[in-house]
Structure 1
Amino acid sequence: MRANPTEPEKRLWRNISNSQLNGFKFRRQAVIGHYIADFLCPQKALVIEIDGETHQAEQDARRDEELRRLGYKTLRFTNADVMHDMDAVLCSISNHLQEAGPRWINPHPNPSPEGEGLDRALRQAAQALETVSETPRLDAELLLAHALGMNRQDLLLNLPKLEIPDGFSALLERRKSHEPVAHIVGEREFWSLPFQVSADVLIPRPDSEILIETAVEIGTDRPPTHILDLGTGSGALLLAALSEFPEARGVGMDASAAALAMAHNNADSLGLSDRARFLLQDWTMAGWTQSLAGPFGLILANPPYVSTQAELSREVSEFEPHDALFAGVQGMDDYHIIIPALGELLADNGTALIEIGFDQAGQVTKLAEKNGYIVECKQDLGGNDRLLVLRQGPGL
């Protein structure tokens, strides 16, 4: 995304994510002819544009005609559409995707220049990654931009002027061995914020943004002033929440010193270190809640919840920290520690937002209700159960 995306653009991208909407892949920004499209679904050649406060009919018509000539259909929304009725926007996009015909067949209406150079290198790299990644072209672009020391937008805008950097092939080989792109480039975006990542922390996932979206909804009338992030890792959840609640301060707790070092770095780079405190603490140890200076109006938790018997992709099983993934045969071990302890940490009228696995809503809900909480389940962008919202019941 461009260096200064608008809030509607960021919000729409968080909902579309960099993955799927009804099974279709999306790219954020793409150079098409003389234009930079805001969002693109390559499978259906659908361009999505965000137009500001109002549509400008003549200008839009000229641009849409040029895009149509190149084989693309344009779907336009205003800032107000995105901010006030996201469900309608997503429904409209979904309907157009279902109705659109198949993507063009050769020749491509906007062919890339043939011959040696970066474009050919990108095509070859994407082909080499097809058996490794669901987004081979995107991966290749991110790796090439990293090798050139620039962002992806600048790469796409300046492709004809650039030369293949010496380090690109080495980065490509690392990706071909299933090493995550985020580890190779050392960064992953979450909630439109850049986070440094490494093998010491879980890579922040778009599905986890439902925790921040829900926190913002809950905090509209009563913003939290004291936030706790259990198992903070890179600090993504805590720092994203602090970016939304400028009056709040927060604590990120983790059992890994290496993870906390990464969280400290991210807090510094985002200018949030004055409001974020990080604590080395293991919730499997007795008395772990005593070192936390509560109570907290908002508690965020993305604990380990993968079964030790689960089969994971090589990207996850070989490159991400197992201590942050696995939680016993049922994936429930850490919930049995965290949920009973919430009563010591949660403020009156406070809320705990706990991420769960797609098939764990029933089990974790029963555990929370047994401990006296009122529970609401929310789904991620893929429609999977992903978040439990815990509020104190009348007996707490």
Structure 2
Amino acid sequence: MNERVLIVGAGIAGLTLAHWLARHGRRPTVVERAPEPRTGGNGVDVRDGAITVAERMGLMGRIRELATDVNGIKFVDAADRAVARIGTRDSTSVEVMRGDLVALLYTVADGVEILFGDSIRALEQDDHGVTVTFERGPARRFDLVIGADGMHSGLRRLVFGPEERFVRHEDHYFAFANADGTLGEDRWVTMFNTPGKMAGIYRSGNHAQAKAYFIFRSERLDYGHRDVAEHKRLVAEAFADQPWQPTRGLLEAALADPEFYFDALGQVRMDSWSNGRIALVGDAAWCASPASGAGAELALVGAYRLAGELAAAGGDHRVAFARYEAAHRPLVDRKQQIGPNVRLMVPRTEGGRCVRDALARLPLMKAAGAIERRLRSRAAEPLPVYHRTA
């Protein structure tokens, strides 16, 4: 039956998977490296199939209540004057802060064992299960192990190989952190550009706390992905000479934030998401990068499918893993085709910025967004309702 399932990572994918495994009669355990639930993060979009999953979890009403209520993006010049605006409100999706969504997912993980402050050191699988050695806790035996521990997945490295085999650098780095809630215009994302760089302020209408955003273009940098002091140094150096006056305040607030987040824009590409009794879900398997705007959607839908296929297959992981991948990979492939998002947010040249601003002032951008939403909605496939077979 493969009842005892260890999930590595307590993010959107991991907690969603734990909920559905428990509903289908499994006994999930979640191990999370952080000592407590992570509350930070940027805005994420719940759309299409993810709305269906959230509704079936009984969470969609609360998600709508916590919506960020952002009207769109405002581009400004060095004097902080608006030069263009793009409306981004979309009736077919709901943007919510990642921390708010994760907090909601904890509320439907009642009864799920969660081990904070620990991680996997080693594992060994055989025909009957997986023996897991933890960094701090005693070794334990599980029927299945699922990695939901993000783009820099430690489980993926242990089971599938080194990160450089699977992670593709997308030529940019980004950071976000808390910022002074009085900065920027309420219900707008304010962005300032110099060639290859963007500094921005995210002001949700339903949150007192603003967010600072930074993106800069760069070849691959050599740094530790858990070295926060080094992350802050890289961002401070990249934006030290910006002529936009709010940049200094944004940097000061961001560098003082204990939940400062920095990473590369990258994608994970894998030929297979499973190896024996071990599988991957979420960014560990298919990160499409934050520029795709599809992280939460892919995580919610993918976790729902994985738990559902295990239930439908009576716990036969070989059948379930194959069906899960066949069903979910087409959506992943579509979402990894990012398009012009990064070029619009971070033009490479001053001329590119001027062209972007000129286009943003035309009705063309709004019409293009409406067309994209209609095409996306048509491409969305209805999600099955899974039932236990044993």
Say which one has the larger Rg: 1
**TM bucket by the smaller chain?**
under 0.3
Relative contact order: is structure 1 or structure 2 higher (C-alpha 8 Å, sep ≥ 6)?
Answer: 2
